[in-house]
Structure 1
């Protein structure tokens, strides 16, 4: 993985379990861009993230914050996971 010098966006009112679910999605998106991740693993992380942030508006807010600091798009990875028949998701870094 690349050396990251940023902090994940986080709401400190979340429980430890909720923070873990959100961080797991951020990590899954990073993996999709950096090394590849199984479609199943990504979708599992995404479903758990949605347990914490069920609102589409809130999801967009947090995803934009993550993308602004990391350069990685949750939306793009999620769209790829929904449409691909491949077992591994590997996003092209050029945007």
Structure 2
């Protein structure tokens, strides 16, 4: 990993940790299997921190540009699947 996770300097330390954990799990979903419910749970926490859809899209685009991993597609798949685990 030679990139940084997108963060907002106005977030609290706890919020930064939660957002980093979310993006880290997205990364893991592309490299290994992860639990669908864990993605949904961390996404819900992400949405508490970033309620704005436009800000979410901006952060997702920054992350995808840096990593090549689509947060949107990963969350969508986790929500739509009935499987316990997903791998992108």
Aligned counterpart, 1:90: 87
**Paired residues for 1:28-43 under 5 Å:** 28-43=25-40
Aligned counterpart, 1:27: 24
What is the rounded CA distance, in whole Å, between the counterparts of 1:44 and 1:24 in structure 2?
Answer: 11
Aligned counterpart, 2:69: 72
Which runs of 5 or more residues in structure 2 are unaligned? none
Q: More helix per residue: 1 or 2? A: 2
What is the rounded CA distance, in whole Å, between the counterparts of 2:23 and 2:34 in structure 1?
Answer: 12
Aligned partner of residue 63 in structure 2, secondary structure: helix
| Displacement over 6 Å in runs of 4+ | none
What is the rounded CA distance, in whole Å, between the counterparts of 1:53 and 1:23 in structure 2?
Answer: 13
Aligned partner of residue 66 in structure 1, secondary structure: helix
What is the rounded CA distance, in whole Å, between the counterparts of 2:37 and 2:79 in structure 1?
Answer: 10
State TM-score, norm by structure 2: 0.96
State TM-score, norm by structure 1: 0.89
Aligned counterpart, 1:12: 9
Deviation at 1:10, TM superposition (A): 1.2
The number of residues matched between the two structures is 88
Which runs of 5 or more residues in structure 1 are unaligned? none
What is the rounded CA distance, in whole Å, between the counterparts of 1:51 and 1:20 in structure 2?
Answer: 13
Match of 1:48 among 37, 45, 48: 45
